[in-house]
Structure 1
Amino acid sequence: MEKNPPYLPHDLIILILLRLPVMSLLRFKCVCKLWFSLISQTHFANSHFEITVTHSPKILFISNPYLETRLIDFEASLSDYYTSTSLNLSFVRPRPRPDPYPHRGYYFYIQTKCSCRGFIFLHRAATTYLWNPSTRVHKQIPLSPYGSYLQVNHSLHLYCFGYDPSTDDYLVVLMSFHNVFHNISLHLEFFSLRDNRWNEIEVTNFPYINFSDYSMVGSLFNGAIHWLAFHLDLSMNVIVAFDLIERKLLDISLPDDLFWRGLPGDFEHEPTDCDLWVFGELLSVWTRQNDIVEIWVMKEYKVHSSWTKTLVFSIDVIPTHYFAPICCTKIGDIIGTDGEVGLVKYDEKGQFLEYTS
């Protein structure tokens, strides 16, 4: 008498597959047509991401020039990390060529700028890439129609990338400001990964320029990319947000009691550093003046009165006297960089916990 083959309900198969690593899923696409169709679905990919992101709280560092990667579980100790050279980053290495400046070398360091849903935005010289370390898939982003300006000093830009769930598309957003012989040209454009092309957005009122002297990466929060920018009409710094679904800009005011809001000529109270980040599940702004860091959070998104100062702490224990927050743990500990290769951790009350370099 023949025995019936073991049977697993379809729903149970889905639950099992959702908990497998990405590389295993790529191999299991070859098992049968049903699994190939299932794993290829957008809904499955989104569900898999939502499950894995809650179990993989890690920071990825790339050590130049040997392209050694370092994975740090920021819920654990900063000294507990996994170092690997198995992630192939050879696609970002420049081709050897005669160097007009041999004392500098032809190798340009790679920088990790931001991440979204498993993709990492890499930057080297004027070249940018989207890279998925799990699938090893990468794509070089072509220069925008105004990309030739990215290598010259008179160009400043705000940029980042994010995900549009309405079209299942990843967008690289670029807001550029070109000052040629005192003639300022402003452009807002985005690169669609799905369409593989740049699109310029016509904006009738574009009163923003970069508030800093260098190009800045945005903070992805609540379906929008946020930057600090200088509002020309108001003559002060604001937060400008780009809605990834509606493809439009809006501005958000900074806290009234922030010790510096970018008023003209207020150099005495100007911080050494200032930027946005996401503190837990809240949009946040941090400032650093001398060895003191202030952190503000917007407890209700887009509600100006909800800005609250949550922390003020000293960073005088850090050898570099620099601190920029990167992320926070589930219990509220803040992890930041020392500006070089070190990481620093403070607790939710601003007390120093550990430092590793």
Structure 2
Amino acid sequence: MSDYLPPNLITAILCRLPVESLLRFRCVSKQWCSLISSPHLISTHLSHSGYPLLLLRHLSTRTKNQEHYSVYLDSLKTENFAPVKELNFPFKTRSGNQFRVVGFCNGLFCLSDDLFGYTYTIVLWNPAIRKSVTLPKPRVHFGPYGPYMFCLGFGFDRKNCDFKVVRIAYLQNKYGAYSVLPPEVEVYSLSSGLWRTVDSKDVRCKIIEYFYSSVYLNGAIHWICCVKNDDGEFTSSLLVFDLTDEKFSEMCLPRELVHVSPLDLSVSLCEGQISMFWYEKGRDNGESCDFCAVWVMNQYGEVESWTKKFVVVLEGGLSHAIGFRGNGEFLVEKFVGDLMSYDPERKEFKDLGIHGGKDSFFLSQYAESLVLLDGSSGAVSDPSVASDAEETDSGLSEGGLLQEWYCSALYAKVSLCD
């Protein structure tokens, strides 16, 4: 049939088909296999999405801490919350806990095994085609630099059609505080498969490692950052990294949140807009939060457009806010680990019947893609244990590294930015 259709029409049809169908259609002919695996079709396929889908990750404490990645239909009229697909998750962490989901973008997950210990396992994973890339070890690591704290960001460089991972590392000063500025910043590019050091001289703020959250929007990554003044008062804002020009800038928070501790803030997306969650009680003390206030930036980059949408008060306390569904409902994690849905208009809660480990929930819009199908940057099929090959730095045992890590996290919670 392809002999009777113009090549452009064939491409237009293929780029609108599900990934599962395209994988089968590679067997039609060598020509189709080459076309479907080509960078052009992979890129074009990214711009055509089907039904609105939502991805929810949680750690099931009832199945030996297994990570579950479930896909849900997310239309405005969808009332029930039943998965339409379960993704096969093939990785394991060294700690036996969960991966940090750094982000999801254009069909790719960025996962990091950094919640416990100095490991350097960062994985880009495409579940639709069951391929992944494990990133090489970055330049800044424990061996030559000693203790440090770091955060990650993940997104898509639209101008260069390239996925990038950003790693910001704060080194330890002579007093034991992770306050050396500017931080060491490296960027991994999927097209090259390498880390590069980038200029960070304009970064004069700090991101609280372990507790950080990040958002990719408008070709840039956003983290909550802060400066601690001489009088001990916080000045919080958003640190922004443009993935095309690879430069940093800052974005203001609502005036009511500027002097809130970064431990009581998280950043997310609400219908394609930057949103901030403010927890009334600090999560640093391990207690539940009394309420969560939700703010949304209606005009990107305009500080005056910040609007307080609503406040969530949950009897028994909540652990943290997770994000929005397409029907406007707001998902939160109850303090005991139950997933709850909140209707801001009716001010009603609904138990979704999903129980997860503490802070293990991750929510994002979901779309399949063919990224990594062309074998770029060392993609491997059917990844297994991602972190088994990790090496221990500087002769320290794994137990020693874990102890060092726990001390680092505790120090961050107590001193923050001192």
TM over 0.5: yes
Counterpart CA distance in 1 for 2:144 and 2:221 is 20
SS of the residue corresponding to residue 319 of structure 2 reads coil
1:209 maps to what in 2?
206
Letter in 2 for 1:145: R
The residue matched to 2:210 in structure 1 has which SS? coil
Secondary structure, counterpart of 2:206 in structure 1: strand
Matched, 1:273 2:272: no
**Superimposed CA distance per residue, residues 14-41 of structure 1 (whole angstroms, 9 cap, x where no aligned partner):** 3432232223313323423442343234
Q: Give the deviation of 1:277 after TM superposition.
A: 0.7
| Structure that is richer in helix per residue | 2
Matched with 2:138 is 144
Instruction: Find the aligned partners of 1:50 and 1:73 in 2 and give their Cα distance.
Output: 19
Query: What is the match of residue 22 of structure 1?
Result: 19
1:9–1:202 distance in 2 versus 1, CA, 3 Å: closer
Query: One-letter code of the match for 1:133?
Result: P
Shift of residue 12, structure 1, vs aligned partner? 4.2
2:293 match: 294
Distance 1:83 1:245, change over 3 A: closer
Match of 2:222 in 1: 226
Quick one: distance in 2 between partners of 1:142 and 1:327? 34
Deviation of 1:244 (Å):
0.6
What are the equivalent positions in structure 2 for 1:1-357 lying under 5 Å apart?
7-52=4-49, 54-61=51-58, 63=60, 65-75=65-75, 76-77=78-79, 79-82=81-84, 84=86, 87=88, 89=90, 91-92=91-92, 107-125=96-114, 126=119, 127-148=121-142, 154-182=147-175, 184-185=179-180, 186-210=183-207, 212=208, 214-231=210-227, 236-256=235-255, 258=256, 260-262=257-259, 273-289=264-280, 290-316=289-315, 319=316, 321-329=318-326, 331-338=327-334, 342-349=338-345, 351-356=347-352, 357=354
How does the TM-score come out when normalised to structure 1?
A: 0.79
The TM-score normalised by the length of structure 2 is: 0.69
Question: CA offsets per residue over residues 56-110 of structure 1, 9 Å max, x none?
Answer: 33334454534554333344456412574x7250x5365xxxxxxxxxxx63433
Shift of 1:347: 2.5
Counterparts of 2:263 and 2:212, CA distance in 1: 15
Over 3 Å counting, the alpha-carbon distance change for 1:83 and 1:57 in structure 2 is closer
The count of corresponding residues between Structure 1 and Structure 2 is 328
CA displacement 1:141-200 (0-9 Å, x = unmatched)? 222111328998x53323111111222211110111122423743211111111111111
Question: What letter matches 1:16 in structure 2?
Answer: I
Q: Report the CA distance shift for 1:5/1:247 in structure 2 as closer, same or farther (over 3 A).
A: closer
Q: In 2, Cα distance between the equivalents of 1:168 and 1:5?
A: 28
Task: Measure how far apart 1:327 and its partner are.
Answer: 3.3
Distance in 2 of aligned mates of 1:138 and 1:41? 18
Give the aligned partner of residue 266 of structure 1: none
Percent same amino acid among aligned pairs?
24
Asked if the contact 2:222–2:238 (Cα under 8 Å) also holds between the matched residues in 1, the reply is yes
CA distance in 2, matches of 1:139, 1:53: 26
- Greater relative contact order, per chain length (Cα 8 Å cut-off, separation 6+): 2
* Unaligned segments of structure 1, at least 5 residues: 95-105, 264-269
Letter in 2 for 1:279: C
In the alignment, is the contact (CA less than 8 A) between 1:334 and 1:345 conserved in 2? yes
CA–CA distance in structure 2, aligned partners of residues 354 and 87 of structure 1:
28
Q: Is the 8 A contact 1:129 1:140 kept in 2?
A: yes
For 1:20 and 1:245, the matched residues in 2 are separated by: 29
CA RMSD between the two structures: 3.2
